[in-house]
Chain A
Amino acid sequence: MELILALAIGILGGSGVWLLMRPRTFQLIIGLSLLSYAVNLFIFSMGRFPVGAAPILEAGGKGDPAHFADPLPQSLVLTAIVIGFATTALFLVVMLAARGLTGGDHVDGRPPR
């Protein structure tokens, strides 16, 4: 489980960084999205995931809070997702404006000659 999660974060993050370095705005925004997925998973994993732990309620009792996952990283992820979504949408608008003004989708306005 840990290995799968670590690999997922690594691959998402690596692809994100690679795309971030590319000269097209579309690649840039996809790169940022992939990176934010990687970061969200990372935050999630910082809450230490107990595998196979009991849910909050146990049969016939309240359950022990020590047994279930830390809820704070989850709420952090939620906030991060919302903010990331909003900023991505905003960035998309700027990209479209740049496309309209410069006539190209290069991050510097026009590709170097």
Chain B
Amino acid sequence: MTGWLQHLAILPIALPLIAGAVMVALDESRSRLKAAMGIGSILVMLAAAVALAVQAHAGGAAAVQVYRLGNWPASFGIVLMVDRLSALLLLVTALLGFAALLYALAHWQRMGAHFHALLQFQLMGLNGAFLTGDLFNLFVFFEVLLAASYGLALHGSGVARVKAGLHYISMNLAASLLFLIGVSMIYGVAGTLNMADLAARIPRMPAADRPLLEAGAAILGVAFLVKAAMWPLGFWLMPTYAAASPPAAAIFSMMSKVGVYAVLRLVLLLFGPETGVSAGFGSTWLMAGGVLTVIFGAISVLGTQDLPRLAGGCVIISSGTLLAAVGAGQTAVTGGALFYLVSSALAIGALFLLIELLDRGRDLGADVLAVTAEAFGEGDDEEEQQGDDGIGVPIPMTMATLATCFLCCALVLAGLPPLSGFIAKFAMLDGILNPRGLGQGPVLVSPGSWSLLIVLVLSGFATLLAMTRAGIRNLWADADRAVPRIGAVEIAPVLLLIFVCIGMTVAAGPVMRYMQATAAALHAPDHPRQPGRGAR
């Protein structure tokens, strides 16, 4: 690696920082310029993420590219680390950011101040959290992305947003304090916060220090789990995501994945199989918590009556599935889980954007009324009378497009064939049942894995049920609903995200190989994360 390419790792952080800072200074009336800057910056990020992913994937079995900020020796300076996982998540973040920005161009960018700048800072925080190789820097980037997300959650203002935002902010401020306690405890025991150094030091740690280390890691984990909305730490999620403006909610679907990412990284790095006594610390809790989260998500998906909350429930199911999969601690399951992470993040993002389009032109509270009417057996007579005008009404093009998009989201989220959600779930189930590949003799599946398996299937069923019900009510039930007026720039991002999901299905082989290589590198017993010591 020579020349400017070696500085590629800093680009996804520096670029949105500069773009956002310039945008803050620009006047609100120059929204066209801001939008152009935003699109340019995200497209460059996208290209950088692709380049980093290609580099990481080409780099061999367990390639980790270390970027030392300011070129300080690793024991003094701060490092960024790019491996397959970070590059992959950078890519997904940029995609979702692009979709959110495109969608916001229609009218959301004018609904409040500094949308474009906040989005850039949000992306900067997300990218930074995925790239950093240092626990304290992870805290800093968490704060950056949270601060931006507070602004985005409140974008558009209104009583519901401010009320949900108040809970969201206080919850996350408290979680940040837990984060600090955890980080400082780990520092107090291990004497370093560099992830590579930590991984190297933990196996040699004396038994007397272990309780403090494990307590620190557990407190740190709680902070991440609040972000990932594990039950019972995730009650803030549904109101906040449902109240947030659609582009903000779309990017938030990535934000809850940051918590999962941090847990995954921490568990595998600090408590991997080679760390001696502490190996596997917390994985039982993750598994149990994940399974409970999925159950909670499934119940809330079934119980909810409006679409934004339904999408929020899907976020919770997705988080729970991922956490339980991390808790399972098997390479093949992790590979499937990564595939699931990408496809569910994209589909949920698309769903959040789609919901507003579906809701447009409908009366407020129509869903609640419809459900109530259904429950009391009213409203059926009307529909029968409508049925006598022959073959039926032609479906307008707009509605057909919306319905197809909704169907695709439902298929991905419920994990039905033929879309990517099915492949992801299949990979996870396969990983649980055949951790060593087919035909390798009988495998003992642990009770935890059985519960994960059952919950995976049942949550898919619950999602399918809820999505079908919502789809019927929104797209079929009232024949004389007004066709929403939708701009091309609004439907384009939804289509983009769904096409990426379809692309992941078509190219499932190479994508899955990438995911499995990522998982194998993460689980590798001799994970070469020592380059923090500065070989490069």
Q: Using a CB–CB distance below 8 Å, which chain A residues touch chain B?
A: 20, 25, 28, 32, 35-36, 39, 42-43, 46-48, 72-73, 76, 79-80, 83, 86-88, 90-91, 94-95, 97-98, 101-102, 107-109
Contact = CB atoms under 8 A, between A and B. Distances in A.
A72 B77 CA distance: 12
A43 B174 contact: no
A43 B184 contact: yes
A94, A97, A101, most chain B CB atoms within 10 A: A94
20 contacts: A20-B170, A32-B173, A35-B174, A35-B177, A39-B184, A43-B184, A47-B188, A72-B187, A76-B180, A76-B183, A79-B136, A80-B180, A87-B147, A94-B150, A94-B165, A94-B169, A95-B166, A97-B162, A107-B167, A109-B159
B21 to A, nearest CB: 15
Contact of B143 (A20, A36, A87, A108): A87
B297 to A, nearest CB: 23
Contacts of A20: 170, 174
B24 interface: no
Nearest to A108: B163
B413 interface: no
Contacts of A95: 166
Q: Tell me whether chain B's interface is mostly helix, strand or loop, or mixed.
A: helix
Contacts of A73: 184, 187
Nearest to B192: A72
B157 interface: yes
Interface of B: 136, 139-140, 143, 146-147, 150, 154, 157-159, 162-163, 165-167, 169-170, 173-174, 176-177, 180-181, 183-185, 187-188
Contacts of B140: 79, 83
Contacts of B184: 39, 42-43, 46, 73, 76
B162 A36 contact: no
B177 to A, nearest CB: 5
Given A42-B181, A87-B173, A94-B150, A76 B187 contact: yes
Given A91-B173, A108-B163, A109-B159, 18 more contacts: A28-B170, A35-B177, A39-B177, A39-B180, A42-B184, A43-B180, A43-B183, A76-B187, A86-B147, A87-B146, A88-B173, A90-B147, A90-B150, A90-B169, A91-B170, A97-B162, A102-B159, A109-B163
Contacts of A43: 180-181, 183-184
B158, B170, B181, B184, most chain A CB atoms within 10 A: B184
Nearest to B216: A46
A8 B181 CA distance: 16
Nearest to A79: B140
Contacts of A88: 173
Given A46-B188, A76-B187, A25 B176 contact: no
A7 B508 CA distance: 58
B121 to A, nearest CB: 12
Contacts of B181: 39, 42-43
B166 A101 contact: no
Contacts of B157: 97, 101
A28 B166 CA distance: 10
A46 B173 contact: no
Contacts of A101: 157-159, 162
B215 to A, nearest CB: 12
A76 B170 contact: no
Contact of B188 (A48, A90, A107): A48
- Shortest 9 CB-CB contacts between residues of A and residues of B: A46-B188, A43-B184, A46-B184, A83-B143, A98-B162, A39-B177, A101-B159, A39-B180, A109-B163
B127 to A, nearest CB: 18
Nearest to A100: B162
Given A46-B188, A83-B143, A97 B154 contact: yes
Contacts of B159: 101-102, 109
Nearest to A16: B177
B140, B180, B188, most chain A CB atoms within 10 A: B180
Contacts of A42: 180-181, 184
Given A32-B174, A46-B188, A80-B180, A94 B143 contact: no
A92 to B, nearest CB: 10
Contacts of B147: 86-87, 90
Contacts of B166: 25, 94-95, 98, 107
B167, B170, B181, most chain A CB atoms within 10 A: B170
B369 to A, nearest CB: 24
A68 to B, nearest CB: 15
A88 B146 CA distance: 13
A101 B167 CA distance: 15
B187 A46 contact: yes
A47 B176 CA distance: 20
Contacts of A83: 140, 143, 176
B480 to A, nearest CB: 36
Nearest to A29: B170
B403 to A, nearest CB: 36
A42 to B, nearest CB: 6
Contacts of A46: 184-185, 187-188
Contacts of B185: 46
A34 to B, nearest CB: 10
Nearest to A38: B177
A22 to B, nearest CB: 11
Nearest to A43: B184
B394 to A, nearest CB: 44
Contacts of A25: 166
B136 A94 contact: no
